[in-house]
Every structure is written in structure tokens, then in C-alpha cells.
């Protein structure tokens, strides 16, 4: 992966993670770096799912792919914030 690919993955992960965080109701007590990681993972997994289903090769913006990525990011943010909030501080 090139430097440009890494930078674009971080930017897309930030956007997808932020959109996923906006979709989840309530306050999420997770750091921004964790949101970015969730967004990057959701973007990669969403792209893989869209490609496997044949939805990733359309002309223009792949709205179905973006929708899948945002839903995956929202689920990831909800799961991680639930687990992150339950950490016991000793």
C-alpha cells in the first residue's frame, strides 16, 4: 500500500467513523482514534461486502457501498462504546 493509499484510508475511515458515530444515539465515551480505527475497519469490510455482492462497480458514487460502511461503523461504534464504557477502573 502506498503512502497515498494509507492517507486516503485514514481520511475515509475518519469520515465513515464520524458518520457511524452520528447514527448511534446518545453519547459515546470512546476516543477519536478508536472511532477512526472503527471507521477504517468498517470502510474495508463494507467495500469487501459490496464487491462480493457486485454492488461496488457502478458509475458514480456507490451509495449502497457507503450505506453498508456507515451501518457497519455505527454497529462498531455502538459495540465498542458499550464495551469501552464498562471498563472497570481500579
Whole-number CA gyration radius for the chain: 14
pLDDT per residue as tens digits for the range 32-53: 888 888 888 988 888 888 889 8
- CA pair distance 17, 64, nearest whole angstrom: 17
Residue pair 17/31 in contact by the 8 Å Cβ criterion = no
Q: Is 0.85 topped by the overall pTM?
A: no
Amino acid at each position: 500500500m502506498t503512502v497515498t493509499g494509507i492517507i486516503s484510508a485514514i481520511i475515509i475511515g475518519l469520515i465513515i467513523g464520524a458518520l457511524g458515530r452520528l447514527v448511534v444515539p446518545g453519547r459515546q465515551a470512546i476516543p477519536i482514534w478508536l472511532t477512526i480505527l472503527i471507521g477504517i475497519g468498517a470502510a474495508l469490510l463494507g467495500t469487501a461486502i459490496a464487491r462480493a455482492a457486485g454492488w461496488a462497480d457502478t458509475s458514480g458514487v456507490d451509495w449502497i457501498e457507503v450505506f453498508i460502511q456507515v451501518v457497519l461503523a455505527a454497529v462498531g461504534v455502538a459495540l465498542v462504546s458499550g464495551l469501552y464504557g464498562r471498563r472497570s477502573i481500579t
